[in-house]
Structure 1
Amino acid sequence: MIIRLIGGTPMRGQADPSWRGAISDADAYDLTNDAARARILSANGLVISGGVDHLLLGRYREELTAFVRSGGRVLVNGQVVKPFIDGLAVWRKLEFRGAQDVRPHAVSEHPVWNGIDDRDLHYRTGVPGIHSYERLEEIGVAGFYGRGYHLDLPEGAQVITGIGSYRLPLDYAYRIGAGEVLVHGGNDLESFSDDGYSTRVLGPNLVAWLEAGRNDGARNDGGRDGGTSVRNGAQNGGTDAAVVRVLPAAAPADAAVARAARDARVSRESRESRESRESRAPGAAPRIGLLHCGAFQPLRTLADPALAPYRLESVYLPDADPAVLADLDVVLVSDRLHQGQLERFVPALLAALEDPGKTVIVLGENKVEQWLPGVGYTFRPTVFWKWRTGEDNGTRLRLPEDPMWEFFTPWSVSWHHHGLLHPRPGARSLVVMEEDGAEVGTLMYVDEVNQPARLLVTTMDPVYHHGSGFMPGASQLLYSLLRWVTATRSSAGKHP
């Protein structure tokens, strides 16, 4: 049995990257439930996706380490910020200037990479068809496989793939007891299994390697005897292996009372907070809170020295009280949040929209059509390669005289997007999508008329890409947003 821990709902339009149904998904927050955690830790192998909450995983470091020690195998994807298994090295960003700086190179043999030409890991493109390496050099985008490296590897670690001309450690493996940890410092490894290239074998190789793990799933003593129990259950395409999230059921009446009390408290604290903000010294910097779920992208964003002047405050949704939003001047809803964690904050976000002293910014892949009043959404696939091929991606800038353009450049808002928004009448659409000469939807808008607060919504995901160290335009958008909210806040604590 192989279980992949995911950080929430997959990105809309993304094909299921688990290989041919052999890997069953489980919400990482299921670890907080004793029964679900026991089932997860009874697997032969685990896959940690790149969108999982590192702070959550850190709370189960002993259990995850014991899983490996007793014979389990784990694939860790993404950029480790806070190690959650003994021996994990922290990921470091590579300062790259061109495609060859992020080229993967085979360093040593490992069964997961058997039969794979490392050139087939270098570029990705959405252009249909199978392309030669030379053609991909013209139309492909490099860096998806990896754009950083690891130092301070654990004793006995095996470097499998190096990055760039110096072959810096990108992929590595090491043993703990009877088990093994495999680390891939880039986009989820299983997503690179492509039938058109040598990487077609990556999926089968990975599944075979994970299934060979052995874990009895019953002990919590760290597996000191190096147990090697047989597989727990038969594999049948993921049906039996599915993990059902277990949540305590609340009585409807009790839930309604709790919601009413929470809404009343949020309203009261919002009013008190507004009075407190308006009494601050003129010219005080706004308090900016970044709502996030502990994935590596927002954690790296919060730690970025370039953003230190803005004093971003961490609002870690699993632990935070929604009432904390009341005392913020700017509520920045990070992209790709776990929908279950975000749902708990929706009443506080709606209360924030009723405060004329606030600015609320909602970034992409947060299903705003389900909770922002009057906002519609239309899916469009993500386009990440057209700037390489020279095709028109349909992005159009509007309202050139709008004062917003003092803070935003064309490059900061035209790198890519995740679908189309349809805002309420009166909102100012600054970036739109055009198809066949007709405007079909909005990619970024500002609304200062449909609620007391100032609202900016976009389907772009700058925190994700800035924190990943990928896509310079995304970093420009994040910087622009922060400059805008800081510069346009009046001395009274209200936007103009």
Structure 2
Amino acid sequence: MIIRLIGGTPMLGQTDTTWRGAFEEVDAYDLDDDAARARILSADALVIGGGVDHLLLGRHREALTGFVRAGGRVLVNGQVVKPFIDGLAVWRELEFRGAQDVRPHPVSPHPVWAGIDYRDLHYRTGVPGTHSYERLEEIGVAGFYGRGYHLDLPENATVVTGIGQYRLPLDYSYTLGNGAVLVHGGNDLESFSDDQYSTRVLGPNLVQWLEGGVQDTVELKPAVPAVPAAAAGTRPPGAARAAGQAAPRIGLLHCGTFPPLRTLADPALAPYRLESVYLPDADPAVLADLDVVIVSDRLHQGQLARFVPAILAALQDPAKTVIVLGENKVEQWLPGVGYSFRPTVFWMWRTGEDNGTRLRLPEDPMWEFLTRWSVSWHHHGLLHPRPGARSLVVMEEDGAESGSLLYVDEVNQPARLLVTTMDPVYHHGSGFMPGASQLLYSLLRWVTATHAAVA
């Protein structure tokens, strides 16, 4: 039995009869229940999705480490911020300037990657069809497979995949007791199994390795020391000020996944003094003391539900600003808001494709803080706000507006409300998409500079 711990969104194809059917998906918060945890740890292998709460996993570090030492195998996906199994290395962001800087390269053989052409891991595109590597260089987007690296690997680690010209450690494996840990420092490894390319074998290979049917044939050896990438520039912390007024108290609601943890630790954001509101542990009453409530994108819906009454109460306070970011099912809890699904177009800047994004209300004061680049990288569906809201970014389809991608509502409740289907915290914390970081910076500048006018 292979259990895949997830952060709330099931894997596509979970119930089909292909290799995906080998995974049983379990909400990671079930680890907090004694009986459920015992069942999880009775599995033969675990897959830890990249969207799982690292603070939660950290609370169960001893149990997860014991699972491996007793002979279990674990695939760890994503960017490890706080190690939750003995031996895990912290992920480090790579300063990259082009596609070749994030190109994956084979370093040591591993059965999971057997038969894969590494060029098929380099680019992704939503353009239909099967494309040559040369064509993908024209229309594909690099960086999904990995955009960072690991140092301080355990002594017996083997680097499987390197990234960029220095082959910095991206994927690595190591033994722990009688078991083994495989780490992929990018988007979930299993999501790269694509029937149209050589990566079609990645999923079946992974299942076979997790089940113990294929043993590593490569002698584990110490990783070759890597050349570190240039350190990111930092700005000294300080108190943000707006027109001589004290900076607002800004709370970031999150569920302990790697993007908000990395965002909260970003020195470039230190002047805004973001306050962590970790939903599994926090009291919803803390929102009453905040000036700005930011509902981070991609929250676990079960954890968010406990805070919805407090968020709705914050909307009744004229001194507050509430910002709700993408993929939070707002149509289920924000009064009067509708939603229409649209597929995400993430490749348009490579193909020149028009994704339908249009900017509106050019005289609106919000455009003192927003730029075209900060709001036109991609989105996750359309919003239909209540009458009176100002839609600043919309979707145009067949010559007509079909919905809003970002709007501000200052008339339907006492508080200021900004809602968008863009997910800037996820992408900023992932070190991916500069436009997403620009949107996050812009929103923080906006609430800081205009706080005195609201208070």
1:47 aligns with 2:9: no
1: CA distance, partners of 2:449 / 2:24: 47
The one of 292, 314, 334 equivalent to 1:352 is 314
2: CA distance, partners of 1:163 / 1:300: 21
Following TM superposition, by how much is the alpha carbon of 1:10 offset from its aligned partner in structure 2, in angstroms? 4.8
Deviations 1:279-321 (A, max 9, x none): xx97110000000000000000000000000000000000000
Alignment map for 1:216-255 (pairs within 5 Å): none
2: CA distance, partners of 1:367 / 1:10: 15
Following TM superposition, by how much is the alpha carbon of 1:24 offset from its aligned partner in structure 2, in angstroms? 1.0
Q: Partner of 1:438 in structure 2? A: 400
Contact 2:99/2:142 (8 A) holds in 1:
yes
1:370 aligns with 2:332: yes
1:318 aligns with 2:264: no
Q: Partner of 2:390 in structure 1? A: 428
2: CA distance, partners of 1:15 / 1:313: 38
Contact 1:445/1:457 (8 A) holds in 2:
yes
Deviations 1:408-456 (A, max 9, x none): 0000000000000000000000000001111100000000000000000
2: CA distance, partners of 1:462 / 1:123: 22
* Structure 2: runs of 5+ lacking an equivalent: 215-242
Q: Partner of 2:236 in structure 1? A: none
Alignment map for 1:3-152 (pairs within 5 Å): 3-10=3-10, 19-152=19-152
Contact 2:13/2:21 (8 A) holds in 1:
no
Q: Partner of 1:396 in structure 2? A: 358
1: CA distance, partners of 2:372 / 2:3: 42
2: CA distance, partners of 1:398 / 1:305: 33
2: CA distance, partners of 1:425 / 1:213: 59
Contact 2:58/2:83 (8 A) holds in 1:
yes
Which amino acid counterpart does residue 375 of structure 1 have in structure 2?
V
* Structure 1: runs of 5+ lacking an equivalent: 215-280
Following TM superposition, by how much is the alpha carbon of 1:9 offset from its aligned partner in structure 2, in angstroms? 2.5
Which amino acid counterpart does residue 91 of structure 2 have in structure 1?
W
1:413 aligns with 2:359: no
Following TM superposition, by how much is the alpha carbon of 1:213 offset from its aligned partner in structure 2, in angstroms? 8.0
2: CA distance, partners of 1:371 / 1:155: 49
Contact 2:76/2:184 (8 A) holds in 1:
yes
1:473 aligns with 2:403: no
Which amino acid counterpart does residue 71 of structure 1 have in structure 2?
G
Following TM superposition, by how much is the alpha carbon of 1:16 offset from its aligned partner in structure 2, in angstroms? 5.5
TM-aligned CA distance change 1:31 to 1:25, over 3 Å: same
Following TM superposition, by how much is the alpha carbon of 1:15 offset from its aligned partner in structure 2, in angstroms? 6.2
Which amino acid counterpart does residue 411 of structure 1 have in structure 2?
W
2: CA distance, partners of 1:450 / 1:319: 31
Which amino acid counterpart does residue 94 of structure 1 have in structure 2?
L
Q: Helix, strand or coil: the match of 1:162?
A: strand
Which amino acid counterpart does residue 212 of structure 2 have in structure 1?
A
Contact 2:78/2:187 (8 A) holds in 1:
yes
Contact 2:390/2:409 (8 A) holds in 1:
yes
Which amino acid counterpart does residue 390 of structure 1 have in structure 2?
G
Following TM superposition, by how much is the alpha carbon of 1:49 offset from its aligned partner in structure 2, in angstroms? 0.4
Contact 2:13/2:20 (8 A) holds in 1:
no
Q: Partner of 1:384 in structure 2? A: 346
Deviations 1:75-128 (A, max 9, x none): 000000000000000000000000000000000010000000110000000000
Contact 2:287/2:310 (8 A) holds in 1:
yes
Deviations 1:6-50 (A, max 9, x none): 011359xx6659943111110000000111111110111100000
Alignment map for 1:156-235 (pairs within 5 Å): 156-212=156-212
Deviations 1:358-402 (A, max 9, x none): 000000000000000000000001110111100111000000000
1:453 aligns with 2:415: yes
Contact 1:72/1:213 (8 A) holds in 2:
no
TM-aligned CA distance change 1:16 to 1:141, over 3 Å: farther
Contact 1:44/1:213 (8 A) holds in 2:
no
Which amino acid counterpart does residue 339 of structure 1 have in structure 2?
Q
1: CA distance, partners of 2:296 / 2:10: 16
Contact 2:252/2:277 (8 A) holds in 1:
yes
Q: Helix, strand or coil: the match of 1:490?
A: helix
Q: Partner of 1:242 in structure 2? A: none
Q: Partner of 2:252 in structure 1? A: 290
Contact 1:19/1:190 (8 A) holds in 2:
no
Following TM superposition, by how much is the alpha carbon of 1:341 offset from its aligned partner in structure 2, in angstroms? 0.2
1: CA distance, partners of 2:19 / 2:333: 33
Contact 1:71/1:213 (8 A) holds in 2:
no
Which amino acid counterpart does residue 124 of structure 1 have in structure 2?
R
Contact 1:112/1:205 (8 A) holds in 2:
yes
Deviations 1:314-357 (A, max 9, x none): 00000000000000000000000000000000000000000000
Amino-acid identity (%): 86
TM-score by length of 1: 0.84
Q: Helix, strand or coil: the match of 2:4?
A: strand
Following TM superposition, by how much is the alpha carbon of 1:460 offset from its aligned partner in structure 2, in angstroms? 0.1
Q: Helix, strand or coil: the match of 1:308?
A: helix
Q: Partner of 1:231 in structure 2? A: none
Structure of higher CA gyration radius: 1
Q: Helix, strand or coil: the match of 1:208?
A: helix
Contact 1:123/1:144 (8 A) holds in 2:
yes
Q: Helix, strand or coil: the match of 2:452?
A: coil
2: CA distance, partners of 1:21 / 1:446: 43
Deviations 1:177-224 (A, max 9, x none): 11000000000000000001100000000000111189xxxxxxxxxx
Q: Helix, strand or coil: the match of 2:51?
A: coil
2: CA distance, partners of 1:184 / 1:202: 13
Deviations 1:124-154 (A, max 9, x none): 0000000000000000000000000000000
Q: Helix, strand or coil: the match of 2:451?
A: coil
Contact 1:9/1:339 (8 A) holds in 2:
no
TM-aligned CA distance change 1:10 to 1:429, over 3 Å: farther
1: CA distance, partners of 2:169 / 2:101: 13
